[in-house]
Amino acid sequence: MHDLIKTDFLTLTRQHEWHLDAFISSNEIYNISVWDTGVIKFEPKTLKKEQAEQAFVFSSAIHGNETAPIEICSEIINSLIAGDLIIKHPVLFMFGNPASINIGERFVEENMNRLFSGYHSLHEGQVTKVFLNKERERASKLENYMTNFYAEYTNAERTHYDLHTAIRDSAHEKFAVYPYVHGKPWKKQQFEILKAMGVTTFLLMEKPATTFSYYSSNTHGANSFTVELGKVRPFGENDQSKFVAAKSTLINLLQGHTYAGDNFNSANYQIMTVYREINKHDQSFQLSFADNVANFTQFKAGEELATENGVAIVTEKDGEAIVFPNANVAIGQRALLTVLPTDISANLV
C-alpha cells in the first residue's frame, strides 16, 4: 500500500489545497487511484471494466463549508481504504474545493457551481486562454477527471450525485435539483433512490446551468442531481442521525442494491418547477424577507420579494415559493428563484 494512502484521505486532501501528484495503490479488495488532491477512485479487483453495469461519481465540497456531505464521503472512503466495506461498482469521489474547506467558506474567489460546462474558461463572453483563478482551473480538472472515469466503463449506467447542504433552512429539509434534461423523461427509479436518501422534494430545472450536476447530466448522460441534505454547519456540529439514510443509500448503491422505479407514486413527492428567475441588476438589490425565511416558503400573489432601484419585485401567483435567495451575488447573477408545483406524469420513465 502506498504510504500516502495511510493518511486519512480528507486530511491528505486538506494538506494539499490545489494539487497532489497522482499515485496508485491497492488493498486486498480494491485498486485505488488518487488522481489529484481530493480525487480518489475505487475499483474492485475482480471487476472487468467492460462488464461494469454501473459507475458512480459522488462529489462534495464544491462548496467548502458544506461539511455534512464531506463527512459522509470521508467515512465511506476510509471504510473502503481499510477494506471494511465491500462494494460491487466502481466509484469516483471528489472533494471539489479543498482550499475552501480549510477556510470554512463556500468558496475562495469564485463559486465553483457557476463554472462548469466550460464557464471556467469564459469571461464576459470571451474564451480566456489562462484560468482567471484557481477555482476555474479546478472546475476544469474535475470535468476532465469525470470524463476519464466514465470513459473507463463504456457499458455502465452513469450516476453522479453532487452533495451539498443549503445556506438557509428549508421548509423541506432535504431536496434535490434535477438538472435540465432537454425534454428527456424524468426517471422514476431516481426519484425512488433519492427518496431512500430522505429526499422527496425536487426542483426540476428548465434550462442549462453552470452546475456540476448539469455538466454530468448533459455531457455524460449521467443520472445527475444536486442533492441538498440539510443546512450548512461547521465540522463536528452536524447531527449525524439526519444523514444516516443518505449515507446508507450511497453505500447500498455501490453494493449493487437496486431500487424499483415501479414503486413510484407522485403523492410521495413535492415536485416543483422554476416559475421565475430573478437576477440582480444593481447593487441596490435587497431581499424583502428575513434571512431566516426558509427555502420553499410560499407567498401569496402580490407580496413583495425584493426591491431594486426603489422598485418592488412582487409575486405573480398564489403559492409561488422562494428557493436559493442570496442578495450577495455578483451583478447579473441569479439572486432568487421562485417555484411552483408541477405535474410530470406525462414524461416519466
Binding residues (CB under 5 A) for Zn ion: these are 63, 66, 164
Residue 46: count other Cβ atoms within 10 Å of its Cβ.
Answer: 8
Q: What angle do CA 9, 15, 19 make, to 5 degrees?
A: 90
At residue 200, the 3 state secondary structure works out as: coil
- Residue 229 vs 253, nearer CB to Zn ion: 229
Kindly name the residue from 228, 304, 308, 316 that is annotated as catalytic. 228
Residue 270: count other Cβ atoms within 10 Å of its Cβ.
Answer: 16
CB of 232 to Zn ion, least distance (A): 8
CB of 197 to Zn ion, least distance (A): 16
Tell me the pairing of strands 223-231 and 157-166: parallel
Cell numbers standing for residue 96? 471539489
For residue 169, what is the enclosing H or E element? none
CA-only gyration radius of the chain, Å: 20
- Residue 188 vs 231, nearer CB to Zn ion: 231
- Residue 156 vs 166, nearer CB to Zn ion: 166
Residue 260: count other Cβ atoms within 10 Å of its Cβ.
Answer: 9
Residue 55: count other Cβ atoms within 10 Å of its Cβ.
Answer: 26
CB of 111 to Zn ion, least distance (A): 9
Instruction: Name the burial class of residue 309, with classes exposed (0-12), middle (13-18) and buried (19+) by CB atoms within 10 angstroms of its CB.
Output: exposed
- Residue 63 vs 114, nearer CB to Zn ion: 63
- Residue 100 vs 315, nearer CB to Zn ion: 100
> What are 277's strand-pairing partners?
337
Distance CA 257, CA 94 (A): 22
Cell numbers standing for residue 272? 416543483
CB of 113 to Zn ion, least distance (A): 6
CB of 211 to Zn ion, least distance (A): 10
Instruction: Give me the amino acid identity at 133.
Output: N
Q: What is the DSSP letter of 326?
A: -
- Residue 66 vs 308, nearer CB to Zn ion: 66
Q: What is the DSSP string of 35-95?
A: EETTEEEEEETT--GGG--EEEEEEE-SSTT-HHHHHHHHHHHHHHHHT-S--SS-EEEEE
What's CA 39's distance to the chain center, in Å? 15
Cα–Cα nearest to 60, from 188, 247, 242: 247
CB of 293 to Zn ion, least distance (A): 19
Distance CA 102, CA 53 (A): 36
- Residue 21 vs 105, nearer CB to Zn ion: 105
228 in active site: yes
Active site residues: 228
